[in-house]
Structures are given as C-alpha cells and as structure tokens.
Copies of this chain bind each other. A is one copy, B any other.
C-alpha cells in the first residue's frame, strides 16, 4: 500500500469486509464485537481490518471500560468523492452516448418494421 492518504483510503475501501464495517458504522458507534458479529472471521482478523480503517482515517476509536467503541470519520470519504467527481463528465457522456445509441437502434428497428 502506498502511503499517501488518498491511496490509503482507496486501499482500505478495496475490501468488502471493511466496506461493510463502515456501512455498519453509519448506524452509529459500535464495539469491536458488535462490528465482528456479522462476519465469519476471527477477532484478530477483525482487529486488523479495524486497524486498516483507522490508519486510513476512516474511523476513530474511543475507550469506555474494556470496550473500544469505533465511529465513522468521513473525512477521507469526502476526499475519495472529490477525486472521483472529476470524472463525472465522462460517465455522463458515456451514458448519453449509450442513450443515443439505444435510441438509434430503436429508430432503425422501427424503420425496419415499416
């Protein structure tokens, strides 16, 4: 993994387990065991995933008693969104082209029917 923050964010998001963890944290703070519950993974594996998310700045962790509650830190998600947004015109254009193509096809088929 490269060390720049944006690369770290993308790398952290490249794992479906970690994305699911973030989705879970949308509902609010959760302990490690709560986060672990849906996954068929050992606790050390969960702990490592959380460390990756924390390293990317996507979550932060507190302490209360023997719990280490995690919460979402959306900063890097905004950076990812900003980076990707610069390409919006391309997919908008592509969809336009697809749309035009489909219309063209339909038009042609209608002419064929006639």
Contact = CB atoms under 8 A, between A and B. Distances in A.
14 contacts: A1-B14, A2-B15, A10-B11, A10-B14, A13-B83, A73-B94, A74-B90, A74-B94, A75-B91, A75-B94, A77-B90, A78-B88, A80-B80, A80-B84
Number of copies: 2
B26 A2 contact: no
A7 B84 CA distance: 15
A14 B7 contact: yes
Nearest to A25: B90
**Which applies to chain A's interface (DSSP): helix, strand, loop or mixed?**
helix
A37 to B, nearest CB: 21
Contacts of A80: 80, 84
Contacts of A41: none
A85 interface: yes
Nearest to A72: B90
A interface residue count range (under 10 / 10 to 19 / 20 to 34 / 35 or more): 20 to 34
Contacts of A91: 74-75, 77-78, 81
Interface of A: 1-2, 4, 6-8, 10-11, 13-16, 19, 22, 26, 72-75, 77-78, 80-81, 83-88, 90-91, 94
